[in-house]
Amino acid sequence: MSVAAGCRSASEPGAQAPLFVPTSDRTVVRTLQGVPATDGAGVKLTRVIHQPALQNLDPFLMLDRFHSNDANAYIAGFPNHPHRGFETVTVMLEGRMRHRDSRGNSGLIQGRGAQWMTAGRGIIHSEMPEQESGLMSGFQLWINLPAKEKMCPPYYQDLPPERLAEATLSSVGSRLRVIAGNPQGLAGPVRDRPTQPTLLTLTLEDDQPFELELPEGHVAFAFVHVGQVHLGPEARASAVREGHIALLSQGKRLRLQARDRRSAVLLAAAKPLHEPIVQHGPFVMNTEAEIHQAIADYQRGVLDKA
C-alpha cells in the first residue's frame, strides 16, 4: 500500500462551500534529551519520560528506549515484577523478548512487532531476552488508565509484524508502521482504548516531507531515535536530534521531514485523563490509599487474583 506524502488540494467547479478548511499545525513546544538509566535486573536503557525534567505527560507515564548490541547490557532482562493500574506497550525494532506471567500466559515479542498489555487490577510477569547476542532495540511506553478501569481484568495483545498496518511513503522505502489509531486511513490492530491512542513508527529514507493528522485535543510527542527530523510547518520547523523527545503543541496536522540523513521516529498521541496520578514503582493509581492497597495485595499474593 502506498500513501502519498505532502499536502494535496482539490477543486470542484460550481461548489458553493469552501473546498479547503484550514487545519491547525502542530509545532514543537519543547525538546528534551533522554537520560541514562537501568531497570529490571540491570538492563541499560535511556529514560525519556519519567525522568526528573519530565515526570509524565498525561496520559503517558513513562517512555524507555533500549538499544544495544552488547548482550551484557540487556541479557539479565526483566524478571518477575508486578503492575497495576495502567498499560504497558512494548515496541520491538530488533531482537526478541519472551514474556510470561503468573497466570500461565506466554508470548514472543519479535523485531518489528509489538505487545500491548493492560495490567488492570494486577499482573506479575517477566520479559526476558530470547537471544544471547546481537542487537536488542525498541521501546517500552506506559499509558495510564482512567480510575474506572484501573481494576479491570488483565489483557494482552501480542502483535507480530504482519499484524501491524504498514505503508510505503516514497520510492526509496520510507515507511509508516501503525500500532494503534487510524492515521492516514491505516487502522492499527490495537483494540479500542479509553485514551484513544495513536502510536506509530516512521522511517524516513529521503528528504521528502510527510504530513499526517492527529486527533485534536490529544497530547502528542515524537521521539527521534535515528538521525534528525524537522517537525512543524516548513517555515517554523524545529530540528529535533537523535535521542531527543519533542513535545508537540495542540493542533491537528503534523509535518515531518528528514532533510539531510536517514531518520526514524516514534510518534504517539492520546487523550489526556486529567486525573490525579499517584505512582509507586510499578503501581499507578489515583490515591495514596489505593497504592497502599496494591502493595498489600502484592505482599499477600492476591494482586493478580480476581
Residue 127 annotated as binding? yes
The domain spanning residue 143 has which CATH number? 2.60.120.10
Kindly report the three-state secondary structure assignment for every residue of the chain: CECCCCCCCCCCCCCCCCCCCCCCECCEEEEEECEEEEECCCEEEEEEECECCECCECCEEEEEEEEECCHHHCCCCEEEEEEECEEEEEEEEECEEEEEECCCCEEEEECCCEEEEECCCCEEEEEEECCCCCCEEEEEEEEECCHHHCCCCCEEEEECHHHCEEEECCCCCCEEEEEECCHHHCCCCCCCCCCCCEEEEEEECCCCCEEEECCCCCEEEEEEEECEEEECCHHHCEEEECCEEEEECCCCEEEEECCCCCEEEEEEEECCCCCCCEEECCEEECCHHHHHHHHHHHHCCCCCCC
Residue 125 annotated as binding? yes
pLDDT of residue 305: 87
* Neighbouring C-beta atoms of residue 223, cutoff 10 Å: 26
Confidence of residue 103 (pLDDT cuts 50, 70, 90): confident
Confidence of residue 8 (pLDDT cuts 50, 70, 90): very low
In a domain, 47, yes or no: yes
Q: Is 13 exposed, middle or buried (0-12, 13-18, 19+ CB in 10 A)?
A: exposed
In a domain, 4, yes or no: no
Residue 218 annotated as binding? no
Mean per-residue pLDDT, 58-85 = 97
Q: Is the pLDDT reported for residue 7 higher than 90?
A: no
Mean per-residue pLDDT, 215-240 = 97
Please choose, from the candidates 98, 89, 90, the residue with its C-alpha nearest in 3D space to the C-alpha of residue 138: 90
pLDDT of residue 170: 87
Report yes or no: 161 and 110 within 8 Å, Cβ to Cβ: yes
Q: Is the pLDDT reported for residue 154 higher than 60?
A: yes
**Number of structural domains the chain divides into:** 1
In a domain, 305, yes or no: no
Confidence of residue 2 (pLDDT cuts 50, 70, 90): very low
**β-pairing, 43-49 with 35-39?**
antiparallel
Euclidean distance between CA atoms 300 and 297, whole angstroms: 5
In a domain, 6, yes or no: no
Share the mean pLDDT of the chain.
Answer: 92
Euclidean distance between CA atoms 89 and 140, whole angstroms: 6
Q: Is the pLDDT reported for residue 6 higher than 70?
A: no
> Which residues, 6+ apart, have CB-to-CB distance to 249 below 8 Å?
26, 27, 28, 29
Report yes or no: 48 and 82 within 8 Å, Cβ to Cβ: no
In a domain, 18, yes or no: no
pLDDT single digits (tens) 17-51: 444 445 699 999 999 999 999 999 999 999 999 99
Q: Is the pLDDT reported for residue 12 higher than 60?
A: no
Residue 67 annotated as binding? no
pTM of the model: 0.91
Mean per-residue pLDDT, 245-263 = 96
In a domain, 16, yes or no: no
Confidence of residue 134 (pLDDT cuts 50, 70, 90): very high
In a domain, 14, yes or no: no
Q: Is the pLDDT reported for residue 198 higher than 70?
A: yes
pLDDT of residue 15: 41
pLDDT of residue 167: 95
> Which residues, 6+ apart, have CB-to-CB distance to 217 below 8 Å?
250, 271
b/e code 148-167 from CB counts within 10 Å (16+ = b) = ebbeeebebbbbeeeebbbb
The separation between CA 256 and the C-alpha centre of its own chain, rounded to angstroms, equals 17
Containing structural domain, residue 239 = 28-300
